[in-house]
């Protein structure tokens, strides 16, 4: 169990295996005051895990099934959830359970944040990626002009992380989620990073995976406790995300996964970090070669020119005052924030393309 101490309220992230019943029984303080419980999920998760969830969940609930993937984070689906809750006569005392991956969690959290100006919710993530997104209270929906542009900081009452749901994840989802684990290692601990780069992401036992996820969650919890609304250190969690989001957006959401795109962004940031700190080309290559060996799709970069990516980067939420802002590493485990000009971004983009065209080394 990991405690997340935020200003609004502290809450626990519970880890376990096939323990939904046990977890929710332990959360009676939250569930007891709920007049109704509404599970928001998506069609893929519900088809694969709905029966297991329903059999294990110890309380009565109603369910609203959203379209799968990033599609649920649209304005239309947000509105549909609000309509559902109003039709169901959900009150300020009703409890929302977000059951799914990062997209379901982001949307459900924003629905909870804004239904009648805020009702309680619990995250029940079903992906590796969600060890990152379910903790910390960032909720959002997408706008045609940018990802996660509309949202709120709104903390859950608890996060229930049942590793059993991860056992049937497709390869792309494993890649997507493990990027955030590697990111958490990059910004916190070189020894842990070396450990991760030593193993295939596809070979972890449930126990090993749980260990790394708890470690990643702890990194995130410590940062969020210090800076809930991203005024300072929380920015470190965006390592790889500026370039990554641009790749993700340019490729059209759902083609490249979030984490696949961010992995490309991590390598970009390592190349950039070589100019500003003690990061060496060997550090960069260690991550790049590993990522290639794990089938991260670096060939996607060639599909877009730099100016296209730049357009997306300039619309990034981190681009304050119209300037580009990147998280870089002084060395592994020591992130910092750096403003960049376009010329330097372009040069590093070229260096990345050259690295990719040379293949893994």
Binding residues vs its own copies (CB under 8 A):
35, 75, 79, 82-83, 86-87, 89, 91-93, 110, 113-118, 138-140, 143, 145-146, 149-153, 229, 314-315, 317, 319-322
How far is C-alpha 263 from the geometric centre of its chain's CA atoms?
12
Question: How many CA atoms within 13 Å lie on the side-chain side of 4?
Answer: 31
Set 73, 183, 212, 241: catalytic member: 241
Q: Give me the DSSP letters along 272-302.
A: HHTTTSS--HHHHHHHHHHHHHTT--GGGGG
CA–CA separation, 112 and 98 (whole Å): 9
- Least distance from C-beta 93 to its own copies, angstroms? 5
Read off the tokens for 265.
Answer: 């962004």
CB of 40 to its own copies, least distance (A): 15
Smaller CB distance to its own copies: residue 175 or 258?
A: 258
Of the candidates 2, 7, 355, the one whose C-alpha atom is nearest the C-alpha of residue 153 is 7
Please, which residue, 86 or 206, has the CB nearer to its own copies? 86
| Active-site residue flag, 32 | no
Q: Which residues contact 72 (CB under 8 A, 6 or more apart)?
A: 42, 66, 103, 104, 107
Q: Which is nearer to its own copies, 68 or 109 (CB)?
A: 109
**Catalytic residue flag (residue 278):** no
Distance in Å, CB of 28 to its own copies, minimum: 17
Active site residue 289: no
Minimum Å gap between C-beta 55 and its own copies is: 28
User: Toward its own copies, which CB reaches closer, 95 or 351?
Assistant: 95
* Catalytic residue status for 117: yes
- The residue annotated as part of the active site, out of 245, 248, 260, 274, is 245
Catalytic, 93? Answer no
Instruction: Considering the candidates 32, 87, 89, 117, report the single residue annotated as catalytic.
Output: 117
258 is catalytic: yes
Helix (H, G, I), strand (E, B) or coil at 33: coil
Which tokens go with 67?
């379209």
Known active-site residue 17: no
Query: Residues 142, 258, 260, 274: which is the catalytic one?
Result: 258
Q: Could you give the 3-state DSSP secondary structure of residue 32? A: coil
Q: Which CB atom, from 82 or from 172, has the smaller least distance to its own copies?
A: 82
Contacts of residue 222, defined as CB under 8 A and 6 or more positions apart, other chains included, come to none
Nearest approach, Cβ of 225 to its own copies (angstroms)? 17
Active site residues: 117, 138, 180, 220, 230, 234, 238, 241, 245, 258
């Amino acid at each position: 169990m990991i405690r997340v101490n935020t200003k609004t309220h502290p809450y626990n992230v519970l880890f376990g295996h096939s323990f939904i019943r046990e977890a929710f029984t332990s959360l009676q303080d939250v569930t007891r005051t709920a007049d109704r419980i509404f599970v928001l999920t998506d069609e893929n998760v519900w088809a694969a895990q709905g029966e297991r969830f329903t059999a294990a969940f110890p309380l009565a609930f109603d369910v609203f099934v959203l379209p799968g993937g990033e599609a649920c984070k649209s304005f239309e689906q947000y509105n549909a959830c609000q309509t559902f809750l109003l039709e169901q006569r959900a009150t300020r005392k009703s409890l929302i359970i977000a059951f799914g991956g990062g997209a379901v969690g982001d949307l459900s959290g924003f629905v909870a944040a804004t239904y009648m100006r805020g009702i309680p919710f619990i995250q029940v993530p079903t992906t590796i990626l969600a060890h990152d997104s379910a903790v910390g209270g960032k909720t959002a929906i997408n706008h045609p002009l940018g990802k996660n542009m509309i949202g709120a900081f709104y903390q859950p009452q608890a996060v229930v992380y049942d590793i059993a749901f991860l056992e049937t994840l497709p390869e792309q989802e494993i890649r997507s989620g493990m990027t955030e684990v590697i990111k958490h290692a990059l910004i916190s601990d070189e020894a842990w990073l070396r450990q991760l780069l030593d193993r295939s992401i596809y070979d972890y036992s449930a126990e090993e995976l749980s260990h790394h996820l708890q470690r990643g969650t702890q990194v995130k919890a410590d940062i969020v406790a210090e800076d809930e609304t991203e005024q300072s250190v929380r920015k470190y969690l965006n390592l790889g995300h500026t370039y990554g989001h641009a790749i993700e957006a340019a490729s059209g959401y759902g083609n490249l996964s979030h984490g696949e795109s961010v992995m490309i962004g991590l390598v970009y940031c390592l190349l950039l970090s070589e100019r500003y700190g003690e990061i060496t080309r060997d550090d960069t290559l260690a991550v790049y070669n590993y990522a290639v060996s794990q089938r991260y799709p670096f060939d996607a970069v060639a599909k877009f020119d730099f100016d296209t990516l730049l357009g997306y980067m300039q619309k990034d939420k981190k681009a304050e005052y119209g300037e580009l802002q990147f998280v870089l590493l002084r060395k592994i485990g020591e992130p910092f924030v750096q403003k960049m000009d376009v010329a330097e971004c372009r040069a590093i983009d070229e260096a990345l393309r050259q690295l990719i065209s040379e293949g893994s080394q």
